[in-house]
Structures are given as structure tokens and as C-alpha cells.
Chains A and B, each alone.
Chain A
């Protein structure tokens, strides 16, 4: 483990200037949001609904293998669209400016077992504010894994490649448990906390509805195709879960991404906050289709800088952001999906074991900012 601060060459003034330049990029997009963007999200939502409807219709005949294959593929894509480009981004408030109550962060609900409002709290508020701050951002390993040398090793971590695989397969349930802070809340008295119970109940309701729809109602509608339809929806959920888990692992876990110590964010300025987002996130390179299917989270760096800008604008923003990375001599962590997934998995496996070398001495840079390269 090295303890080099990759931003050490920047002065405090430069960091604030960087912040101003990023603000200017943001302002430009906000000023130009309009009809085209609104048409985009409506088109995507319409397409997703038609695809889901068509796929479910095809699955009514899933007794015939070609229908099963087509229906399952279509449903998998529809579910991915629902969670990634549509749900995640609407729940970030990216489309709130349209003032359409049907496409608004306060009214949207997604095809996921975690209720939208609980996810918004743990994701938008906690993760996006405290990105990659150890002990503050639970997305760093979701509380079940060690994804940085700086996190304390525990024998439990020996099994983390397995935990990660199981989490990938049942990712939406993992997220629901995570949003509930299940581990923490199942302890003794907390279980009976009325606020926790209400939230747990809401999750239970959501799970019941989702399971009933996917594994009872739709298979029943298929009549003789009951079992194939059941298998198809299970497969579609599995595909969606593994896909979103992979994309999300690429956002913060690949090699080269920085994590931060709790005290490093004390009194953080806007420029420093931006810098932390830049160093704490990683992108996925690829085609337009790849960006679309990841819900534009392939532009994770841009998303973390501007979580509420419409996702269809990240691609144009990325060009400007990348130029800033170059200008300020910072590393823009990006790569094709397989490479980034492999990198993240390798880290999960490596960190299942204790650190090889003794912990490096803690460095505290002048501006009280501490970065530990993974």
C-alpha cells in the first residue's frame, strides 16, 4: 500500500479555481436544459414500458423455447432500463425541473424491492455526500466487505468473494437490507424502534408486491406456461441484479480510486468536495449503448460531480471534465467494463486477506486532507 496523495501538487487556490470551473460547466447545462431533454426521458420511459409489456406478452407463450428466450431477454433489458437510466436518475431529482408529477423524484417508484424514499436517503444523502469516506459512506463495501486497505480486516472478510457473489445475484435485496441498515438495526433494542419498524414494514410491503407480480401473478396469467414464465422472471431479475451490481462496483472499487479519512472532510470547501468526487469515482468507457444500459453511470465521475444533471447530458459534460483532469494533472480512472469489473473483483479477493505490509504511516497534508491510494 502506498500513501501518496495524488492531489498533493495542487495549491488551495488551484482547487478553488477547479471548483469554479466545474460550477461553470454545471451552470451551462442547467441554462440549456429544455424541450429536447424532456422529450428524451419521455421517450425512454415510453420505450421501457412498451418493451416490458411486449416481453411479458411474449412470455405468456414461454412454453415455446424461442418465446422464452425472446421474452426473457426483453424483460431483462426492460428491468435494467427501469432501474438504471430511468429509476436511479429520476430518484436523483435529475428530471424534477420538468415539474411533471409523473416524472418526479418525490412520486416515482421503481421495479425494485427497496422503496424509493428509503433508497433516496441512503444513496442520495449519505453516499453522495460522503463519497468514499471510510466510516461515513457505507457504499464502501456495503458493510459486508472490505474494499480498501485502510478498512480494518476481520476474519469475516475471508468469505467476501462469496458474499459479493451472493450480493450480486440478489442485489436488490442487498440494497433493501442496506437501506434499512439491517445489520445495525437488528441489534437488541433497535429492533423495536417504531421508526425502524415502520420502514421495515414498508420494505415488506414492497417485497410482497414485487414477488407477487413476478412469481405468482404473471406466471398464473401464462397458464400452461406457468413454470417457464416463473423461470423467465427469475432469470430477468438475476440478469438485472448482476448487471447493476457490476456497473456499481465499477463506480468506486476499481484500482486507482481514492478513499478518504473521516477527518479529511472537516471544513471541506466546495472545491475540495469536487476534488474528492473526482478522485473517488471511476468511469466505464464504451459505446452509446453501453452508456445507456448503465444508466449513464458509466459516467460515474461526472455523475458524482453533478448528481442532479440530466443523465443524457453526462456524455457532453465528460469531455469538459476530462479536460479539467488533464489541466490539473489528475488521473481520470476509466476503462472498458470487463477490465473495470475484473479490477474491482480482484480487489475484493485480495482484501479478503489481511494487508500484506504493515499499515503505512498516516500522512496529514497541509490542508488537513488525507488521501490513501488503494
Chain B
């Protein structure tokens, strides 16, 4: 018998000892971060960055598989006793000697999780983690010339890259309302002083929004640069249009924190067949919110359609993608993202 088979036998025996609980329910009491446990992390420190942003230092569990600069991680944290999941960009370099990772969070108005993390999170708190994911990353071969086009908290995935990689020729245009709102400002200025980065700060309260046409003047060789852009939808929409018009769309990599919602639809009676709950939903409310409101245990993640942490089988009926207006009809094997889908007539969600 192989050692794996032996181990699985031993585990079966342990399950007989602990039924109806699992052995892990007991192990979690003493060692929640051990290998083999559900992936969790412990908050070790919270460092303020600006008036409304903070960096959270997390010690990940043994099952953490590391990340690539620019990726994000889904975390689940209990706010007022309720577990909420959100996705945040990782800002730590990938080879941090102590194995810790950091996320940097900006408190957004009415943001339950972001405000909790920035203002109330305490070291020692256990949080739930997913493995890092996302394709807003550098290619295998380091590009010769890069441009970073960022605004607000859009700086966070880029900071992960800057801390991880030494570039030969990197330019950054970063927008924030005022100088004191620029997250990582002193570190950015250190990079500038060390001649590792050329930086243009746009203070939008003073200068107004960045006009994308100014690129020619700010970075004359921008069409030759591999560009990573992250920020509000307006900036990214303008950038995508600009890069396309100049025939270099493949040079632009974007990351959206918020979906642009265009479509609202019919709504209808939503059945959560596993739990047997039925509620009426309008055509504008994401099914994730509908389910949570009805007390159904819904998996969730970024709540903006990027992380696929909320996908659930659609058993019957049709739903509308709130970003595109596209209708998805039920078929065996069809999964929908409940955070960006609303009822388009009666539907049945397997939850």
C-alpha cells in the first residue's frame, strides 16, 4: 500500500472517531493555519498609508501557494459578525523573507469591508483566504519599456509589480485628488530619486482629470511601451479607446475594480432550490444580493464580476448579465456569476 493510500485509510478511521464532525473541526481549534486546513490567514499588523488607506500584513496559512506580482486575493472577514468576501490586490513583493503578504485597502464610502479593514481591523484576527489569482501580471520576459497608468487605489497591483521587479525604463502617471491622497507616495518618490521610475502625479482636485490626449506630451514614446492601467472605469474606457485608435491595443493591460453596469431587465420569481426558498427579484438587483437577503448561503467574492468566486449553477429560467445585458438561459452545466447577474424572468438557482 502506498503512503497516500495509508494516509487516506488513517483519515477515514479518524472520521469514524469524530463523526458527525470532521477531524479538521477539532484541528482548527488549535491550528487554523496548518497545512491541509481550509486556507486562512492571520492579520499581523495594520499600517496606515493615507487618511483613508491602510496596508494589512497577513500571515497566510501553510496551504498558501504564493502569488505573482499584480494579482489579487479574495479574503473573507467577519464584519459585525457577518462573513463578507472581497478581493484586494496584493502589494507585497513575491519573495518577502518572512512569508507574509500584504494587501492595501482604500476605504470607499459605505464600503463595509474596506472601512472595517482600514479603521477597525485588529492584529490577531483570523480571516479566510483564497489562492491569489488574476492575469494583470507581467509577462515571463521583462519588457524593456513599461508605462503604468493608474488612479486612486488602482496603484495597488502596480505597487506589487514595482516592489517585485527592477525595471530598466519605467514611467508612471498616477492620479489622486491631492498629494496626501497618493498611496505609497514616499516610496514612489524614493524610486524616482534612485532613478528607477519616472513619475507624473496628477492631482485632480487641482489639475482636473487626466486628459488622455496629454499622453503624447507626458510620455512621447507611449505607443512603444507595454502598459498596465488600473483605476476607475472612466480612465480605463478612455485608455482602451485611445490605444485602439492608435493601433496598439495589444500593448494595453487593464484591471477593473468595478464593473460598468449597463443593463437592467425584467426580474421575476427566483427559486433557490437547494434551500427551498423563493423570492421576488427585480431586474437590477444582483442575484447574489437577492439570495443573501433571503438568508441563503451564497458564495461570493469581489462582487464585481472578476473573481468568479460566486459562480453557481443556473437550473432553470434566464438571467441577464448586468454589465453587458446579455441573456443566459439555463442548460445543464451552465454556471452564472451571481454578483453581476439579475433575474430575467423566473429562474432557479442551485443554492
Residue pair B20, A49 in contact (C-beta under 8 Å): no
Residue pair B78, A38 in contact (C-beta under 8 Å): yes
Number of interface residues of A (CB under 8 A): 33
B275 at the interface (CB under 8 A from A): yes
Determine the distance from Cα of A209 to Cα of B21 in the docked complex, in whole angstroms: 11
A110 contacts across to B, CB distance below 8 A: 20
Determine the distance from Cα of A232 to Cα of B215 in the docked complex, in whole angstroms: 79
Query: Which of B26, B29, B78, B297 interacts with A35 by CB under 8 Å?
Result: B78
Closest chain B CB from A252 CB (angstroms): 25
The SS class assigned to the A binding surface is helix
B21 contacts across to A, CB distance below 8 A: 49, 109
Across chains A and B, which 10 residue pairs bring their CB atoms closest together, nearest first? A38-B81, A109-B20, A34-B80, A99-B83, A35-B81, A209-B19, A34-B81, A217-B16, A104-B297, A100-B83
Residue pair B81, A106 in contact (C-beta under 8 Å): no
Residue pair A98, B83 in contact (C-beta under 8 Å): yes
Determine the distance from Cα of A113 to Cα of B18 in the docked complex, in whole angstroms: 14
A206 contacts across to B, CB distance below 8 A: 20
Given known A49-B25, A106-B275, contact A97–B82 (CB-CB < 8 A): yes
Contact with A along B329-348 (1 / 0, CB 8 A): 00000000000000000000
Contact with A along B289-304 (1 / 0, CB 8 A): 0001001011000000
B80 contacts across to A, CB distance below 8 A: 34-35
B4 at the interface (CB under 8 A from A): no
Closest chain A CB from B73 CB (angstroms): 19
Closest chain A CB from B30 CB (angstroms): 10
Residues on B facing A (Cβ under 8 Å) = 13, 16-21, 25-26, 29, 78, 80-84, 274-275, 292, 295, 297-298
Contact with B along A29-48 (1 / 0, CB 8 A): 00001111111000000100
The chain A residue sitting closest to B24, CB to CB, is A102
Residue pair B17, A93 in contact (C-beta under 8 Å): no
Residue pair B297, A111 in contact (C-beta under 8 Å): no
Closest chain B CB from A36 CB (angstroms): 8
B298 contacts across to A, CB distance below 8 A: 99
A99 contacts across to B, CB distance below 8 A: 82-84, 292, 297-298
Closest chain A CB from B282 CB (angstroms): 22
The SS class assigned to the B binding surface is mixed
Determine the distance from Cα of A53 to Cα of B29 in the docked complex, in whole angstroms: 11
Residue pair B16, A212 in contact (C-beta under 8 Å): yes
Can you spell out 7 A-B residue pairs with CB atoms less than 8 angstroms apart?
A: A35-B81, A36-B81, A49-B29, A98-B78, A98-B83, A99-B82, A210-B20
A34 contacts across to B, CB distance below 8 A: 80-81
Residues on A facing B (Cβ under 8 Å) = 33-39, 46, 49-50, 53, 93, 96-102, 104, 106-107, 109-111, 206, 209-210, 212-213, 217-218, 221
A46 contacts across to B, CB distance below 8 A: 29
Best-buried of A106, A109, A111, A206 by chain B (most CB within 10 Å): A106
Determine the distance from Cα of A43 to Cα of B17 in the docked complex, in whole angstroms: 23
B78 contacts across to A, CB distance below 8 A: 35, 38, 98, 100
Best-buried of A35, A99, A111 by chain B (most CB within 10 Å): A99
Determine the distance from Cα of A98 to Cα of B26 in the docked complex, in whole angstroms: 21
Given known A35-B81, A99-B292, contact A210–B297 (CB-CB < 8 A): no
The chain B residue sitting closest to A121, CB to CB, is B276
Residue pair B19, A213 in contact (C-beta under 8 Å): yes
Residue pair B29, A101 in contact (C-beta under 8 Å): no
Closest chain B CB from A234 CB (angstroms): 17
Determine the distance from Cα of A212 to Cα of B20 in the docked complex, in whole angstroms: 12
Closest chain B CB from A63 CB (angstroms): 20
A97 contacts across to B, CB distance below 8 A: 81-82, 295
Given known A38-B81, A49-B25, A49-B29, contact A96–B295 (CB-CB < 8 A): yes
Residue pair B82, A213 in contact (C-beta under 8 Å): no
Given known A97-B295, A99-B297, contact A33–B16 (CB-CB < 8 A): no
Residue pair B19, A98 in contact (C-beta under 8 Å): no
A217 contacts across to B, CB distance below 8 A: 13, 16-17
B81 contacts across to A, CB distance below 8 A: 33-39, 97-98
Closest chain A CB from B254 CB (angstroms): 31
